[in-house]
Amino acid sequence: MTKDAILKISNLTVSLPSRAERPYAVEDVSFEVFPGEILCIVGESGSGKSMSSNAVMGLLPKPQVYISQGEILFEGQDLAQISDREMQKIRGSKIGMIFQEPMTALNPVMKVSKQLEEVFKSHHLKLSRKQIKAKIIEMLDDVGLPDPKIIGNSFPFELSGGQRQRVMIAMALALEPTILIADEPTTALDVTTQAQILKLIAALQQKRDMGVIFITHDFGVVAEIADRVIVMQFGKIVEQGSADQILNRPKHPYTRKLISTVPHLGAQKKAPVTSDVVVTVKGLNKTYGDASTGWFKKAGRVVHASKDVNLEIRKGETLGLVGESGSGKSTVGRCIIRLHSSDSGEVLFDGEDILKLTNAQMMPMRKQIQMIFQDPYASLNPRRKIGDIITEGPTIHGIPKAESWKRAEELLEIVGLDKVALKRYPHEFSGGQRQRIGIARALAMDPKLLIADEAVSALDVSVQAQVLKLLDDIKNKMDLAMLFVTHDLRVAAQVCDKIAVMKLGEIVEYGNTYDVFHNPQHAYTKSLLDAVPGKQWKVPDLSGV
């Protein structure tokens, strides 16, 4: 690091409007970015990590949120002071940025090549039409897109998530900026795509000797690409240092806490569960879409979301259903609980095929199978009190209000919330608390099988660890069978007894967690494991220190 810093931020403070929960989004933050390095800013949601990069780009939602103090030195200019117009010139040409959601960051009604052209035009470069065209092809080629001509002629919706993110990167790098700011660029992508994009960013950064500010919440990603790391909490930098230092010898208690909650990738060898089988799935098929045509409808595309799926879960056992988006893992969970109808197959629950039951016959079965949902914000009815939400199920099944209310109080205690919560509305709780409420709601029915559909994916890593622990405790205490649907292999390795890997509606590998992780048989499982970010990094054991 002998070169001079290209970006120097000192004592940056960003103020929030007076009604916000804290006065500053970013408080007294100072750091530098050097050419040719990747600086990772890590933190949980609300830590101010995105706000600091938005301040650099002049993208703060003014006038409510503004820079109240400090300077951002870039090429001798203080970006905190310059006008919007001057900022416009720097944005894109000298500092590039890529965002989390590639679908919304691209204009959906504009062809890719047109959008790239815009970049050149908006910065008034004196290039001929031909030069621009050649440049666009070169750029698309640079970011590893096959057939740049065809891609350039497509609309964003015709591209996959990974391709879109590549286009975004091409756009951000079009004018060869000296700094690239990447705000959670891989969070919305599947693991295998994420691995490719991370590789691409690292390669481009080396080739062009750029400084990269990479914002993420994922320590695996940090381990994969960071040179230096900044850890933020409540708008302040709590620790910064080299990647090796932060990842393996963290000093600040908050960093230590964060790293200790990262699930280990290596699965522990567990004794196989031999208790009674609770649910058996045999030859489950489910297709979406309809190829037939009718008077008013055209033929649709048929997608096999579940193709001849066979599963078995025992009492006290957790089966992990892992796969990338579109693999049909959620569909299988929803078919078992009959939220979706299935085309064919059997789901034997205590020996009875519940797919054949009528709605009335299904009623007593409903109590036995319960689900925990992914998005803690959409899974609780915003207009009902927590007490009503938790007691809804028992009420439907004819349990007197007083009794179910009392049970709800006990359940809240089990999931670690105070019973006054019963009289509040969902919006008064944080994501983690809401997920606990969701768990209490599922438990109110005394189920035998719990289906957790990406139950911890939307949570911050430290909250995630708590909820995972809670789920595990509950499973052991109540001797539940659990189907754990997830895309996160680290989480799966931590909690599951058995793993089923799904790809395009089919189970390609099914076995004990330890075997699947240490001796994968199917090529797809291998590629999934290979793509987990930061797999070389052995999470240090910080317990008991």
Partner 1 sequence: MSMQSPNSKSEKIQSALMAVLSGFWYEFKQNRGALYGLIFVTILAFVAIFADLVAPFSPIEQYRDFLKLPPIWVEGGNWDFILGTDALGRDQLSRIIHGSRYSFYIGFIVIFFCLTIGIFLGLVAAFNKGYVDTFIMRLMDIILAFPSLLMALALVAILGPSLENAMIAIAVVYIPHFVRLTRAQALSELGKDYVSSSKTMGASSARLMFINVLPNCMAPLIVQATMSFSSAILDAAALGFLGMGAQPPTPEWGTMLADSRQYITSDPWLMGIPGLFILVTVLSINLIGDGLRDALDPKMKSNK
Residues that bind partner 1 (CB under 8 A): 334, 337, 339, 362-363, 366-367, 369-371, 373-375, 378-384, 389, 392-393, 396-397, 401-402, 405-406, 409, 419, 422-423, 438, 441, 445
Q: Which is nearer to partner 1, 332 or 539 (CB)?
A: 332
* CB of 294 vs partner 1, minimal distance in Å: 12
Listed in sequence order, the residues at least 6 apart from 365 whose beta carbon sits closer than 8 Å to its beta carbon are 349, 352, 354, 357
526 in Cβ contact with 509 (< 8 Å): no
Q: Which is nearer to partner 1, 422 or 528 (CB)?
A: 422
Q: Which is nearer to partner 1, 72 or 437 (CB)?
A: 437
Euclidean distance between CA atoms 540 and 542, whole angstroms: 6
Instruction: From 245, 116, 217, 131, select the one nearest 175 (Cα to Cα).
Output: 116
Listed in sequence order, the residues at least 6 apart from 189 whose beta carbon sits closer than 8 Å to its beta carbon are 161, 162, 165, 197
In the DSSP assignment, the letter for residue 79 is T
Euclidean distance between CA atoms 411 and 408, whole angstroms: 5
Listed in sequence order, the residues at least 6 apart from 153 whose beta carbon sits closer than 8 Å to its beta carbon are 111, 112, 113
66 in Cβ contact with 14 (< 8 Å): yes
Q: What angle do CA 315, 316, 320 make, to 5 degrees?
A: 100
Q: Which is nearer to partner 1, 188 or 380 (CB)?
A: 380
Euclidean distance between CA atoms 419 and 413, whole angstroms: 7
* CB of 24 vs partner 1, minimal distance in Å: 21
Q: What angle do CA 201, 50, 9 make, to 5 degrees?
A: 85
Taking the mean position of all CA atoms in its chain, how far away is CA 317?
Answer: 25
Q: Which is nearer to partner 1, 408 or 489 (CB)?
A: 408
Q: Which is nearer to partner 1, 1 or 363 (CB)?
A: 363
343 in Cβ contact with 332 (< 8 Å): no
Euclidean distance between CA atoms 203 and 217, whole angstroms: 22
181 in Cβ contact with 205 (< 8 Å): no
Q: What are the residue ranges of helices labelled H in 209-268?
A: 219-225, 243-248, 253-260
Annotate 51-79 with b (16+ C-beta within 10 A) or e (fewer): bbbbbbbbbbeeeebbbeebbbbbeeeeb
Tokens of 506: 């089919």
The number of CA neighbours under 13 Å toward the Cβ of 105 is: 22
* CB of 407 vs partner 1, minimal distance in Å: 10
* CB of 250 vs partner 1, minimal distance in Å: 36
Tokens of 51: 């706000």
Q: Which is nearer to partner 1, 71 or 101 (CB)?
A: 101
Q: Residue 285 pairs with which residues in a beta bridge?
A: 344
215 in Cβ contact with 184 (< 8 Å): yes
Residue with tokens 């930061």: 534
Judged by DSSP in three states, 85 sits in helix
Q: Which is nearer to partner 1, 78 or 352 (CB)?
A: 352
Tokens of 474: 């509950």
* CB of 491 vs partner 1, minimal distance in Å: 19
* CB of 371 vs partner 1, minimal distance in Å: 5
Tokens of 340: 């979706």
Listed in sequence order, the residues at least 6 apart from 5 whose beta carbon sits closer than 8 Å to its beta carbon are 32, 33, 34
Tokens of 60: 């703060």
